[in-house]
Amino acid sequence: MKEITSKFDKVLNASAEYGNVNHEPDSSKEQQRNTPKKSMPFSDQIGNYQRNKGIPPKSYKDSKIYIVGSGIAGMSAAYYFIRDGHVPAENITFLEQLHVEGGSLDGAGNATDGYVIRGGREMDMTYENLWDMFQDIPALEMPAPYSVLDEYRLINDNDSNYSKARLIHKLGEIKDFSKFGLGKMDQLAIIRLLLKNKEDLDDLTIEDYFSESFLSSNFWTFWRTMFAFENWHSLLELKLYMHRFLHAIDGLNDLSSLVFPKYNQYDTFVTPLRKVLQSKGVNIRFNVLVKDLDIQSNTDGKVVEALITEQDGKEVKIPIGKDDFVIVTTGSMTEDTFYGDNKNAPIIGIDNSSSGQSAGWKLWKNLAAKSTIFGKPEKFCSNIEKSAWESATLTCKPSALVEKLKEYSVNDPYSGKTVTGGIITITDSDWLMSFTCNRQPHFPGQPDDVLVLWVYALFMDKEGNYIKKPMPQCTGDEILAELCHHLGIIDQLDDVIKNTIVRTTFMPYITSMFMPRAKGDRPRVVPEGCKNLGLIGQFVETNNDVVFTMESSVRTARIAVYELLNLNKQVPDINPLQYDIRHLLKAAKTLNDDKPFVGEGLLRKILKGTYFEHILPIGSEEQEDHESFLTEQITKFKDWLKGIKG
């Protein structure tokens, strides 16, 4: 690609940066300081300056790209190979074991047989990589030149999201959800966790660290049901989540920090992205199982020389040339999904003795057997009772259930606007059941008189309060009965069953990426020494991002492309709002249920009438500091300050 940069040869040939870019800078390790040798942005200096086009150091017009898995991560990798790597789209081939693209980001069905959505991802305005891509992907329903991002902004800018019934109990009564209910010691525990180094949290669980008072608080109910955390999950991942979403913590109880698409996430994101890739010439080969990689190691590193696949029942080896690249999605959170309906419970034929044997996990296990640089997949797929939960998609005609839903809805469910604003959690449900109704229609072509609701539960081993079985043993009608019981409409169950189609999904590994882990358990995106192999998805290591989001999937794909092609471009670290004093102060007050945090009164006196007064969270000037375990220290500080003033 020398012709692109030929006019800049004098500068580039003398540059120590050119060809040696750190493609994944780490804001948690960087001291941001301008020096004579600094030329690139700080690690999390996001914005339009990062919109420069990457320039490959050489032409890849003859390179072949094989992407194993066609989920959002794999599709994002294809997009960045084309946009920033200038790889011809027709040189890119997806190898997908299923018969449909999208991976875990799915949505299917119809009003006659019932719709099905296995799960959803929480969305945020700070997903810099996701929006970097989707600001260039043509909109689903708006004409050119508008993008998916333009559609997303149009509906969310004009229809704010919030909940008026985040918690319910006592057979459908709305419960007060205005408070987090964290004691001073629990607040201090959160602060201490934020201050801890990531390296100190290997293999620790949430219940190893937090007290029972924290685990029984409203805060934890909000958090665990919104993000699907369990008490036995990774304390490290919880810490990363707290940093990642610190700016949104004051919207945790009423969900006002969330933004949702018009339709389900498959139709919103996968469909338009697939259309773009296919229109450019990308190939998608379905029903192709990649079982292993033939990797050769020498003093120069590790090189993939062939893909070992199974096609039509036969083993087929796909050779990989010296200028070709392979991208692999490791693991799968929705592997081995079992399905049920109104009259049938999911058929569960898998246990820990046979876990992790399906295609998505076997490929990762085969890689890990070759070298420790590929991680330890067994840490994530060997404990199904701790990584499983079940969801149900309800396709609803008008019924008593729909009428009850209206009591919890911000707007009329048929209005096209925000309905429940996110999940409603039944706090006295032994299953810890939650349900939600997003904007309707939830699918393109959905009939006007049909609503789609989504239900899930976290406690798989518990009997229901009304149906004395664990949820996975229940038919769809029995799940409706349990839900109707908690909504106080069990006497109208027959009407609800008659007008509701239920499609259930039991997923053994749906929270496997949250399982406790240590350094090295997840491989890096481009493992050490690998020359033509990148690993993407929810089971690879990034510096500071979290798992279980579309943003993290896109981030891993983008890092893989930039690193393998050695582009002169960085992938910015996560949005730096965790370092913003405004959000830190707001978080301190929010965790204290909007009562003044220690030292707030003093800060108000110092900043009153100054340019920086607005950084303080909303509050009355007359508010006084509450007594706490830190009052003595604050008093000493005030005395010291008086001494300075003379």
Q: What pLDDT band is residue 626 in, cutting at 50, 70 and 90?
A: very low
Give whole-number Cα distances, 26 to 32, 105, 162, 576, in Å.
11, 28, 33, 11
Q: Is residue 304 part of a domain?
A: yes
Q: Are residues 116 and 190 in the same domain?
A: no
DSSP 66: E
pLDDT digits (tens, 9 = 90+) for 478-501: 999 999 999 999 999 999 999 999
Q: Are residues 60 and 152 in the same domain?
A: no
pLDDT score of 638 more than 70: no
pTM value is 0.94
Q: Is residue 468 part of a domain?
A: yes
Q: Are residues 482 and 394 in the same domain?
A: yes
At 119, which CATH number? 3.30.9.80
pLDDT score of 461 more than 50: yes
Comparing CA positions, the residue from 573, 584, 543 lying closest to residue 45 is 573
Output the pLDDT for position 633. Answer: 58
How are beta strands 283-285 and 92-95 bridged, if at all?
parallel
The percentage of residues in the chain with a pLDDT greater than 90, rounded to a whole number, is 89
Comparing CA positions, the residue from 512, 264, 457 lying closest to residue 346 is 457
Count CA within 13 A, CB hemisphere, residue 364: 28
Output the pLDDT for position 120. Answer: 87
Domain carrying residue 57: 8-99+287-336+360-382+515-565
Catalytic residue, chosen from 241, 408, 509, 562, is 241
Q: Are residues 377 and 519 in the same domain?
A: yes
pLDDT score of 625 more than 50: no
Q: What is the DSSP string of 426-480?
A: ETT-TT-EEEE--SS-SSTT--TT-EEEEEEES-TTSPPSSS-S-GGG--HHHHH
R_g of the chain computed on alpha carbons? 26
DSSP 267: I
Q: Which of 507, 527, 553 finishes a domain? A: 507
For every residue of 488-535, which 3-state class applies, written as one string?
CCHHHHHHHHHCEEEEEEEECCCCHHHCCCCCCCCCECCCCCECCEEE
pLDDT score of 373 more than 50: yes
241 is catalytic: yes
- Mean pLDDT of all residues belonging to the chain: 94
Q: What are phi and psi of 294, to 5 degrees?
A: -85, 105
Neighbours of 490 (CB within 10 A): 17
Which residue type occupies 139?
A
Higher pLDDT, 589 or 358: 589
Number of domains making up the chain: 4
Q: Tokens 């199974």 identify what position?
A: 310
pLDDT score of 624 more than 50: no
Would you state the structure tokens that stand for residue 230, as one six-digit string? 């369990």
Comparing CA positions, the residue from 309, 328, 304 lying closest to residue 377 is 328
CA angle 596, 602, 606 (to 5 degrees): 130
Output the pLDDT for position 359. Answer: 82
Q: Is residue 571 part of a domain?
A: no
pLDDT score of 505 more than 50: yes
Q: Is residue 616 part of a domain?
A: yes
Neighbours of 164 (CB within 10 A): 15
pLDDT score of 473 more than 90: yes
Q: Are residues 404 and 453 in the same domain?
A: yes
Catalytic residue, chosen from 122, 237, 335, 600, is 122
Q: What pLDDT band is residue 358 in, cutting at 50, 70 and 90?
A: confident
263 is catalytic: no
CA separation for the pair 312, 508 (Å, rounded)? 27
How are beta strands 65-68 and 325-329 bridged, if at all?
parallel
Give whole-number Cα distances, 500 to 28, 287, 553, in Å.
49, 33, 34
Q: Are residues 402 and 440 in the same domain?
A: yes
Mean pLDDT of 61-68: 97
Output the pLDDT for position 627. Answer: 42
pLDDT digits (tens, 9 = 90+) for 293-316: 999 998 889 999 999 999 999 999
pLDDT score of 634 more than 90: no
